[in-house]
Chains A and B, each alone.
Chain A
Amino acid sequence: MPTIELSHSDLCSLMGTVVSVKDLEENVIMYAKGEVEEIDGDNLKIDIKDTNRPDLWSAEGIAREIKFRLSPGKLPKYKMKKSGRKILVSKEMKNIRPLIAAAIVKDIVITEELLLQMIHLQDKVDETFGRKRKEVAIGIYDYDKVKGDIEYRAADPNKVKFVPLEFKKELSLKEILNQHPKGKAYAHLIRKYPKYPLLADSEGDILSMPPVINSNYSGKVEETTKNLMIEVTGYSEKYVSTAISVLAAALSDRGGKPESVEIVYPDRKVTTPNMKPKSISIDIELIRKISGLDLTNNEIYDLLKKSGYGIKSKSKKTKLLYPAYRQDVMHPIDVVEDVIISYGYGNVEVKVPEIATTGKADETEVFSKRIAEVMVGLGMQEILSYTLTNKNDLFGKMNKKEEPIAEIENIVSSNWSVFRNWLLPSVLEFLLQNKHIEYPQEVFEIGDCVVLDNFQPTKTRNVRKLAGAITNSTVNYEQIASYVDALISAIGIKYKLRKTNHPSFVNGRCAEIFVENKSIGFVGEISPKVLNKWGLEKPVTAFEVDLENLKPI
């Protein structure tokens, strides 16, 4: 969710009307899916929730969206002049970073506000929409320092040199990746190629090494700059053209005069930016059906205009035009939402759906609840633990051989790196946290474990288990065995205990629990070796059973 920093006065001047901060907060919530997070004098911080609308990620975009609603007019027109400039794309770029789009914005008065918004917008689009410059990277230049046609080509990382932004010394492309902070940050995007992307003008002056860094000469924009060139590189036509339109629109809204650039690929020519409105057809009935609002056609047309749509033809299938910088309109349903937003969510009369259905809780949940009640009846305290844990807790501390389990790759903490496949470690960990609490302690947990299962599409299966433990200065096996007996008898099924050896329990003090000749768990006294490994100082008796196998058939 991008956070936009802007000033209230700048926003008002862009909208052309003065709106109080309080009204503005309301407007941002209602129309821009945003929230004013912080107000500090004239400065505002706004969170924009829509990650699919980069056109809203600047003061210009927010102002535009609110302006449509407050004073609906015609679809904004961005008159484009041809600059006559070309970008010549070399053949090699096809396999490195194939696409480029550019625009020129002339006669722009660079104010502090504009500079701030432009840098913010560039940053948000690069990082969020452009997925950290992988999909989209933007470069902005002082146009007056760019001579003639521009070449977008691949360059030798060792031989080609230029002075990167904010540096004084000339460095090779490779050195930039190793030494410049931006070089280090984005090196992974191009290092794998034998040659790196480069933009240079007709005199051989280097503009930048996309998507990493501009040159310090033409790639630096200051308050004295009068004319700008913007360029976007990437892989997807849709992403690249959206990004260039968003930037061109924002700078035009600031009073700049946009001009187009011709991109010459080895096999085709494209003129960018394409600011021609896009179109979509919608059945007006869909708006009434989905919104549930009783609106006349004319009311709908007004709401469409308020939402920034132009109406090309008014028939059953209404043809709408919308600005080129919007890339989120994929389906008529997107138009429906815009109409309801313009109508005002607060004005919608709510209606509880009248659907008679029979509710039903999941059987495992119902059974778990019953079992929890039995355990509580035995005087045991229920606990709840995470399903994520680590191998040392599951196996090492339990004196158990490691078993194949579900493991996370991109862990945040090694404490939470695998899914538990049994419950007892969670229970012992709980006892460890409560060594200073009065004894006796009797606790149980009912919870999901994850076991590997090759027959499942997910190669794993959830298993609902129950584990319980009793600890005190002395414990006896009989008590825990009685609890197990009480539990299974309460369910009303027959079971048998058979002596077994389990590495976590004392030899000769552990039994396996069988129901219908199927092993469903075990009960016994925890081995002192395991207690030592955990750092537990009092004896513990415990049991664990598979709840699914306890359900009477």
Chain B
Amino acid sequence: MTMKKFKLTEEGEKYAKEGLPEKNLIELLTKKKSLDMGKAKDSVFNFAIAFQWAKKNKWVDIKKGKLILLRKPGKIAEQDALQNLSNGDDIDEKTLDMLCKRRLVEEIREDALKKAQKLVGKDVTNLTEDLIKTGLWKDVKLKPYNVEAVGKKVFIGKRQPYNAFLSEVRQKLVELGFREMTGPIIELEFWNFDAMYQGQGHPSRDWTQTYNLKEPKMGTLPDKNIVNNVKETHENGWKTGSTGWGYEWNPKKAAQLMPRAHGTALSARTLANMPEIPGKYFAIARCYRPDIIDATHGVEFNQTEGIVIDKDLNFRNLLGLLKQFAVEFASADKVKFHADYYPFTEPSVQLSAKHPELGWVEFAGAGIFRPEFTQPLGVMEPVLAWGLGIDRLAMFKLDIKDIRNLFTRNLGWLRKRSVL
């Protein structure tokens, strides 16, 4: 219960003695049964208040311009409470609350000075507002705390460290002028494979290499022109100057759905959707492959990759871009390039970066998209494509040996991790 003390206001004192206005109104009505409004106003002090409360309590009503009594209340709780308070007795909280709202009762505020004066000359634990306001803090002794005791454990909220790391990567790529690409997790085989000139019989499309969906199974192919260009390119090279793969392209296979197997699906969608030229794009894409799950293969993984499009880009620019990434992301002081193979780039390249602590690491795979990929989607300009080994860096930074721990289930570890 509250330790607060209350007293009657001036108005409260008056009603305690003379009765609440509504009480007086009821008493008057009990005698007269009905009253003209005008007469009532003259007979009852504070008639407006009286009427408001009596009406609210459904004791009275107005009928044909006359005030009538509906029900005579027994005891009026507020009236009793006023009496009790003036006698110094306790009253129930609900009624007290009501009386406070009606400003008939108010809290007794002990004088700050008086309260503070009680503490003068004493050993004080709590430095109070009163002491500070009155300046009497000079006349008390503040007891020392055990300041060397370690504070009680408080678990603060923090970002998930791998997520926070990816946020920084995103921020850096945006600063380098790249726009972020996003797309559906469940993808058409068309965007995941066909559009990038991966033949329908290519080993990477085998069920051991990529997931298939049981439900839903088939999606719908995009714009007919694009589909037809891709079909022709696979079959005979279309207008790209290629021989093509030389087989009959099956639109049903291309319309099958699968969980996205690589971020390049997003680049394919971007190219088909009239990209800005010159343009720079990136994606941090969640990808899925049916690998045996171990310390280097998670159930899912993120690929950080992107493209740069402009009319006169060449292989030297590609290597320049990769070197820039190696410096920005892996703090590399040296880089090495060598030939590599990706089904959808030619020429292709791999970059090894000399990380100050990890030593030489394979950091990026890249290439120039094959004309059989870009031209059927409507892009005639060279497209530089790159992918970065960001997870490897994340593992190093977070001191994680098992890639599955990027998605850690260990709250203790998360709590202990430094935010730096």
Nearest Cβ on chain B to A102's Cβ, whole angstroms: 22
Residue A318 lies at the interface, judged by CB distance under 8 Å to chain B: no
Contact with B along A341-357 (1 / 0, CB 8 A): 10001101111110111
Which of B38-46, B70-78, B318-326 lines the interface with chain A?
B318-326
- Assuming the contacts A379-B155, A407-B214, asked whether A430 and B219 have C-beta atoms less than 8 A apart, the reply is no
How many angstroms between the C-alpha atoms of A298 and B276 in the bound complex? Answer: 38
Residue A459 lies at the interface, judged by CB distance under 8 Å to chain B: yes
A359 in contact with B278 (CB, 8 Å) = no
Give every chain A residue within 8 A of B163 (Cβ-Cβ).
372, 382, 384
Q: Which of B184, B300, B317 has the most CB of A within 10 A?
A: B184
Residue B241 lies at the interface, judged by CB distance under 8 Å to chain A: yes
Contact with B along A125-147 (1 / 0, CB 8 A): 00010010001000000000000
- Assuming the contacts A331-B242, A345-B349, A355-B280, asked whether A458 and B219 have C-beta atoms less than 8 A apart, the reply is yes
Which chain B residue has the least Cβ–Cβ distance from A374? B157
Nearest Cβ on chain B to A34's Cβ, whole angstroms: 9
Contact with A along B236-265 (1 / 0, CB 8 A): 010011111111000000000101000000
Contact with B along A373-400 (1 / 0, CB 8 A): 0011111111111111000000000000
Residue A461 lies at the interface, judged by CB distance under 8 Å to chain B: yes
Give every chain A residue within 8 A of B409 (Cβ-Cβ).
383, 429-430, 433-434
Nearest Cβ on chain A to B197's Cβ, whole angstroms: 9
Residue A264 lies at the interface, judged by CB distance under 8 Å to chain B: no
A407 in contact with B177 (CB, 8 Å) = no
Tell me how many residue pairs across A and B have CB atoms closer than 8 Å.
274
How many angstroms between the C-alpha atoms of A443 and B177 in the bound complex? Answer: 34
Contact with A along B284-325 (1 / 0, CB 8 A): 001010111100001110000000101011111101110110
Contact with A along B369-382 (1 / 0, CB 8 A): 01110000000001
A290 in contact with B368 (CB, 8 Å) = yes
Residue A291 lies at the interface, judged by CB distance under 8 Å to chain B: yes
Give every chain B residue within 8 A of A341 (Cβ-Cβ).
339, 347
Give every chain A residue within 8 A of B242 (Cβ-Cβ).
330-331
Residue B160 lies at the interface, judged by CB distance under 8 Å to chain A: yes
Give every chain B residue within 8 A of A357 (Cβ-Cβ).
177-179, 276, 278-280
Which chain B residue has the least Cβ–Cβ distance from A412? B290
Give every chain A residue within 8 A of B219 (Cβ-Cβ).
456-459
A452 in contact with B216 (CB, 8 Å) = yes
B292's partner among A348, A369, A412 (CB-CB below 8 A) is A412
Nearest Cβ on chain A to B61's Cβ, whole angstroms: 35
Residue B65 lies at the interface, judged by CB distance under 8 Å to chain A: no
Residue A155 lies at the interface, judged by CB distance under 8 Å to chain B: no
Residue B30 lies at the interface, judged by CB distance under 8 Å to chain A: no
Give every chain A residue within 8 A of B145 (Cβ-Cβ).
none
Which chain A residue has the least Cβ–Cβ distance from B298? A386
A381 in contact with B415 (CB, 8 Å) = yes
Interface residues of B in 119-168 (CB under 8 A from A): 153, 155-160, 162-163, 167
Which chain A residue has the least Cβ–Cβ distance from B323? A350
Count chain B residues whose beta carbon lies closer than 8 angstroms to a beta carbon of A.
Answer: 106
B177 in contact with A356 (CB, 8 Å) = yes
Which of A47-55, A225-233, A540-548 lines the interface with chain B?
A47-55
Which of B12-20, B81-89, B99-107, B203-211 lines the interface with chain A?
B203-211
Residue A332 lies at the interface, judged by CB distance under 8 Å to chain B: yes
A337 in contact with B259 (CB, 8 Å) = no
Give every chain A residue within 8 A of B177 (Cβ-Cβ).
355-359
Which of A78-86, A360-368, A515-523 lines the interface with chain B?
A360-368
Residue B225 lies at the interface, judged by CB distance under 8 Å to chain A: no
How many angstroms between the C-alpha atoms of A424 and B211 in the bound complex? Answer: 25
Give every chain A residue within 8 A of B158 (Cβ-Cβ).
376, 381-382
Give every chain A residue within 8 A of B291 (Cβ-Cβ).
412
How many angstroms between the C-alpha atoms of A384 and B382 in the bound complex? Answer: 37
Nearest Cβ on chain A to B314's Cβ, whole angstroms: 3
A462 in contact with B214 (CB, 8 Å) = no
Give every chain A residue within 8 A of B259 (Cβ-Cβ).
408, 419
A419 in contact with B207 (CB, 8 Å) = no
A383 in contact with B185 (CB, 8 Å) = no
A384 in contact with B407 (CB, 8 Å) = yes
Residue B171 lies at the interface, judged by CB distance under 8 Å to chain A: yes
How many angstroms between the C-alpha atoms of A378 and B207 in the bound complex? Answer: 45
Q: Which of B186, B257, B292 has the most CB of A within 10 A?
A: B186
Residue B115 lies at the interface, judged by CB distance under 8 Å to chain A: no
Nearest Cβ on chain A to B204's Cβ, whole angstroms: 8
13 interchain pairs, CB-CB under 8 A: A131-B203, A330-B245, A353-B321, A353-B384, A357-B276, A360-B174, A379-B155, A409-B213, A412-B292, A419-B185, A430-B409, A442-B157, A458-B188
Q: A128-B203, A340-B315 are in contact. List 20 more A-B contacts (CB 8 A).
A: A29-B338, A131-B201, A238-B246, A330-B244, A331-B243, A333-B346, A351-B317, A352-B324, A355-B177, A356-B177, A357-B279, A360-B180, A362-B180, A365-B170, A376-B159, A404-B215, A408-B211, A440-B155, A441-B155, A442-B155
Give B residues with C-beta under 8 Å from A.
Answer: 153, 155-160, 162-163, 167, 170-171, 173-182, 184-188, 201, 203-204, 206-207, 211-216, 218-222, 237, 240-247, 257, 259, 276, 278-280, 286, 288, 290-293, 298-300, 308, 310, 312-317, 319-321, 323-324, 336-341, 343, 346-349, 368, 370-372, 382, 384, 406-412, 414-415
> Top 5 nearest A-B pairs by Cβ distance?
A292-B314, A292-B316, A337-B347, A359-B174, A352-B320
Give A residues with C-beta under 8 Å from B.
Answer: 29-31, 33, 49-52, 128, 131, 135, 236, 238, 289-293, 330-334, 336-337, 340-341, 345-346, 348-353, 355-362, 364-365, 369, 372, 375-388, 404-413, 416, 419, 429-430, 433-434, 437-438, 440-443, 448, 450, 452, 456-462
